[in-house]
Structure 1
């Protein structure tokens, strides 16, 4: 019986190895590639053209994950995010964590030449708010990132408005 179990296990592992080598790309659908315009090494400036920082976005896990590594122009502040297309809920998701311990969870999708992701609602000072970050794919190859705080459909504040230029 043990010999039979070992044979089945070996066969299962061998078939898995073959499947991995002959499998088509798991994350190559149009939806999985929708945020690829953000991949690259970037110098980022604020809306007033002052330095904001540098950002490196790379594809990992066989193209299934975009990892962001942010270094702010403000010394000592860094952050990282994991971004992926969740085929179960058919949305992009982002989890951002920074060197201050703050985190942000976003969900959304690409609409035309923009990726729009929003947080769940939260309450602050008696107001129901949510974060919305929009990445704009510009014709000249730059990317604009706009982070707004909304109360319903109204923009309460802009937390970041940056322009990404390829290094």
Structure 2
């Protein structure tokens, strides 16, 4: 009887350790939480206060991935956002219903998430430009997002989008 009890006790200890190892959250460190202010169900407005769309932003894959689901009149888009521990960067891949693909990489600095594309050669002139998108938490219920086209020296060529997210 004592032998059976000892064997049972050993099995319980080993299985508890295995379960504990399997429940480790690899993406629960502070770096993976830096973009969590964007999570939520949002109505999105331009600077004039006109509603331009909605966005549902979800945490997925045990906090390793953030999925964006954009909707506006005639346009939908989905992005996947993740922290890459290998190079300490945040990354986004955005694809919309017109076939546009946008790949961005960047960091969270001074309470602002800034992601930027690789250089793109202009078809009209002999220069390179970048897509740069920034997100900043205004308060618990508002986030600003600005999408600029910028030069290699970060001078703004065009503002594609300047909006405010308001939590539903």
TM-score, scaled to structure 2: 0.84
- In the alignment, the residues of structure 2 paired with residue 85 and residue 153 of structure 1 have an alpha-carbon distance, to the nearest angstrom, of 23
Q: How big is the shift at 1:111?
A: 1.0
Question: SS in structure 2 opposite 1:120?
Answer: coil
Partner residue, 1:100: 98
Question: SS in structure 1 opposite 2:18?
Answer: helix
- In the alignment, the residues of structure 1 paired with residue 37 and residue 111 of structure 2 have an alpha-carbon distance, to the nearest angstrom, of 9
- In the alignment, the residues of structure 2 paired with residue 18 and residue 63 of structure 1 have an alpha-carbon distance, to the nearest angstrom, of 21
Between Structure 1 and Structure 2, whose CA radius of gyration is higher? 2
In structure 2, stretches of 5+ residues that fail to align are 1-13
TM-score, scaled to structure 1: 0.85
The C-alpha deviation readout for 1:37-81, integer Å capped at 9, x for no partner, is 000000000111111100000001111000000001x2x210000
- In the alignment, the residues of structure 1 paired with residue 136 and residue 25 of structure 2 have an alpha-carbon distance, to the nearest angstrom, of 27
Partner residue, 1:160: 161
The C-alpha deviation readout for 1:71-115, integer Å capped at 9, x for no partner, is 01x2x2100000000011110000000000001000011112210
Q: How big is the shift at 1:145?
A: 0.2
Q: Find out whether 1:37 has 2:60 as its counterpart.
A: no
The number of residue pairs the alignment matches comes to 151
